[in-house]
Chains A and B, each alone.
Chain A
Amino acid sequence: MKGLKIVTVGAVLAFAASGAANAATLDDVKRKGFVQCGVSQGLPGFSNPDEKGNWAGIDVDVCRGMAAAIFGDAKKVKYTPLSAKERFTALQSGEVDVLPRNTTWTLVRDTALGLDFTTINFYDGQGFMVRKALGVKAATELDGASVCVQIGTTTELNLSDFFRANNISFKPVVFEKADEVVAAYDAGRCDVYTTDRSGLAAQRTKMKNPDEHLVLPEVISKEPLGPVVRHGDNNWGDIVRWTLYAMLEAEELGVDSKNVDKMKDSKNPNIRRLLGVEGEMGKNLGLPNDWAFNIVKQVGNYGESYERNVGPNTPIALARGVNKLWKDGGLMYPMPVR
């Protein structure tokens, strides 16, 4: 499993003839006919297979949007579930084309791993979950507590930093898979379960008795989550970035999957450019001119994706918060499509 992936990257690094890895990912993807998408091993709302084995989630929608932009068919995606530990290796070795896997953008990851972050599809922060019965009101009361955490995450380091900064102690219990972390916390091995707050909300739905648990008010870190690509293929990075911007721009312009056909006749030049009625935006990306139309038609705009996967009407029930558009007071700010 993980061993195999690490051996794969070793083998690729050892034997790949120079120049092969920098070949245009877009050409490879067009040749094989689908986008190979690296996702989590099951995080409800972000990337999680349903009963029929269809992947769904806000991260999955990035890949579906890309497939719609490239092929005009959002179904042309294949998914590779990856643990936190395996994810970068899989991307480096070319096993996946893009990695939208609730991955935090940090300096080291952006520079030392041979990878590039494109943009952010979810602003998150790390939080703590405890049992209500413990009677804890704030994270600073957790001196001496056992904390369940997943390996290979920014979470693991933030946790140490937080306790160190507050001069209190804790006992880490570090697991390789997210499911094992939740199982151990649920089994009473730890007092505290920590991960991104969206993750806490999502994993709570998997617990034996979700109502017994409480998410503490503190947000101890910034966790900007976004899709990652290999360093050096700028055109491919552009496609990922502008797929997301197109979804956000569509929301900003009031274009959604239901009205998109009608919007083609709109007089608004911004909408006409986005939907490919005017200009040659798609051509600049190396894509068909109706790229954004297909994204919105088949996947929806960002707001629709959010409401469908993690919004208040889903079991995860996350308020939009900082993930609102900039004009509604949030941080989501798409660059102009022109």
Chain B
Amino acid sequence: MAAEADIGQAPGKPPIWNDPRYRALFFQVVVLGGIIFFFVYITNNTLANLERQGIASGFGFLSRTAGFDISMHLIDWDEEMTYGRAFTVSVINTLLVSFLGIVFATLLGFVMGVARLSRNWLIAKLSAVYIETFRNIPLLLQIFFWYFGVLRNLPESVRESVNVFDLAFLNRRGLFVPSPQAEPAFWVVIVLFFGGIVASIFLARWAKQRQEATGQYFPVLSTSAGLILGVPILAFIVLGFPINWDVPELGRFNFSGGAELIPEFVALLLALSVYTASFIAEIVRAGILSVSHGQTEAAFALGLRPNWTLRLIIIPQALRVIIPPLTSQYLNLTKNSSLAAAIAYPDLILVFAGTVLMQTGQAVEVIAMAMAVYLTISLLISALMNWYNKKIALVER
């Protein structure tokens, strides 16, 4: 007994419940167990309550016939398809408006951010007014502004549509443009386009290696542009324009044929891009200002030309500051796209968490699926941006 007590109290060997490592492990196990119990409990309780209240549950509804129409679909859709297909159609619509929104917001945001730092007084002030206006008005109001405010000023009757050379038409029903129908020979152009991208990647690698070995510079950017765009366009002309245009024609109520951009889509895309761009502009401005002027002076002192200074010195350092908050803006834009429901753009919330939820009454399953989709999109964007952030992060030697 005495001997054991001695060992237990020997310095450096505390009892197991006083050992910080074991204690930390114990608490983590308790917390993890608690969380697992919590989720098992609420899942079981939810199922039991649904059962008791006689509310249908399960995912069988996904294979039932939907019976409603969707105003915009990138993949085939008609009323006889299933709720599962409606889910896919609405996810694609959400992805489309989010992706295009991110692209336009980034372009506009970078331009406006740089413009606000311009030495030209007018450009700087115009940019500041834009940023402060759109950053400080609630997004839902802006969506209504683009939808109702702008829509009401378009021609009401289809016969009075804004007519662009009998090819494109604009009225309150949307923008109608000719849609391209590829002829067989068009695949040559597509192959050349993707071939150009692959060739550019190899070219960039080769140029970098050569520059590191010999110090000689090769104009990668302009050569790549020529490979990716120039060659396919040349082939397109040589092959004799292998594309047919399906031009919209006026019917009794509206145009048929061609491609149609519904006003809901345009209004939502504009609102999301313009709103988010105002935040991105400020992030870009902060990023550029974070690179001290000494860096520029040092680059000039080494004899670098101004545009090289921007490309090699300032932008890489600014990006380190820009990327993390930019990721948040991308995530915000994606989630904000759910406001589409207010103006009838058929996104995930309107079609799936709206019509499908109402027609099936299965709120728990439908909302869980909708949340899973937004979570997946957001995590993918985060992963992509984190990967890029790591790539451009300061490499310490």
Give A residues with C-beta under 8 Å from B: 6, 9-10, 12-16, 18, 21-22, 84-85, 88-89, 92, 108-109, 111-114, 134, 141-146, 151-153, 156-157, 159-161, 163-164, 170-176, 180, 183-184, 187-189, 191, 230-232
Contacts and interface: CB of A to CB of B under 8 A. Distances in A.
B354 A85 contact: yes
Contacts of A22: 52
A14 B252 contact: no
Interface of A is mostly: mixed
B247 to A, nearest CB: 17
B66 to A, nearest CB: 9
A174 B358 contact: no
Contact of B173 (A89, A113, A170, A189): A189
A10 B364 CA distance: 7
Interface string B233-270: 00000000000000000011110100000111000000
Nearest to B53: A114
Nearest to A148: B344
Contact of A183 (B79, B148, B355, B362): B148
B372 interface: no
B151 interface: yes
Given A21-B53, A151-B350, A187-B172, A9 B342 contact: no
A35 to B, nearest CB: 21
A6 B358 CA distance: 12
Contact of B54 (A145, A153, A231): A231
A156 B151 CA distance: 24
Given A6-B363, A170-B69, A189-B172, A176 B49 contact: no
A173 B345 CA distance: 8
B209 to A, nearest CB: 54
A114 to B, nearest CB: 4
A157 B48 CA distance: 31
Nearest to B370: A6
Q: Size class of B's contact patch?
A: 35 or more
B346 A174 contact: yes
A145 B346 CA distance: 18
Contacts, number: 149
Contacts of B351: 174
Given A152-B355, A157-B68, A18 B48 contact: yes
Contacts of B172: 187-189
B355 A174 contact: yes
Contacts of A141: 252
Given A13-B364, A152-B354, 10 more contacts: A18-B48, A112-B362, A114-B54, A146-B173, A151-B358, A160-B67, A174-B351, A183-B148, A230-B53, A232-B53
29 contacts: A10-B364, A13-B46, A15-B42, A18-B48, A18-B52, A21-B53, A85-B354, A88-B361, A92-B363, A108-B359, A108-B361, A109-B361, A112-B56, A113-B56, A113-B361, A143-B251, A146-B253, A157-B68, A160-B68, A170-B69, A171-B254, A172-B68, A172-B69, A175-B344, A180-B343, A180-B344, A187-B148, A231-B53, A232-B54
A179 to B, nearest CB: 11
Contact of B341 (A18, A114, A176): A176
B367 A6 contact: yes
A163 B69 CA distance: 10
A167 B46 CA distance: 43
Contacts of B341: 151, 176
A9 B363 contact: yes
Contact of B71 (A14, A145, A173): A173
Interface string B367-390: 100000000000000000000000
A151 B354 contact: yes
B50 interface: yes
A13 B68 contact: no
Contact of A21 (B49, B69, B71, B264): B49
A89 B353 CA distance: 13
A14 B45 contact: yes
Top 8 nearest A-B pairs by Cβ distance? A152-B358, A114-B53, A114-B55, A112-B56, A188-B156, A113-B361, A14-B42, A145-B253
A50 B7 CA distance: 85
